[in-house]
Amino acid sequence: MLKFFYKTIIMNQGVVKFFNDSKGYGFIKDAKTGQDYFVHISGLVDEIRENDEVTFDLQEGRKGLNAVNVKLA
């Protein structure tokens, strides 16, 4: 007998608080919690700018949670 497990994935939503193109990093403010998350250019799906609304996943990094799979909302 096969059992299937379904995992509900809820993308986080937020706003780009700061992003420096030349250095390749910035911060995203989570819309629900108000917490800021570090984002590196390697975690982007779309190009982002300050004040853009985005969706993102969280992944454990060296210094805490990082925003990854960042897409424009």
Specify which residues 29 forms β-bridges with.
15, 36
Arithmetic mean of pLDDT, 11-27: 97
- What's the pLDDT at 11? 87
Does the pLDDT at position 2 exceed 80? no
* Among the ranges given (7-16, 21-30, 51-60), the one the predictor scored with the smallest mean pLDDT: 7-16
CA neighbours closer than 13 Å in the CB half-sphere of residue 3: 1
pTM of the model: 0.84
Arithmetic mean of pLDDT, 24-33: 97
- What's the pLDDT at 27? 98
CATH number of 12-72: 2.40.50.140
- What's the pLDDT at 68? 96
- CB 57 within 8 Å of CB 68: yes
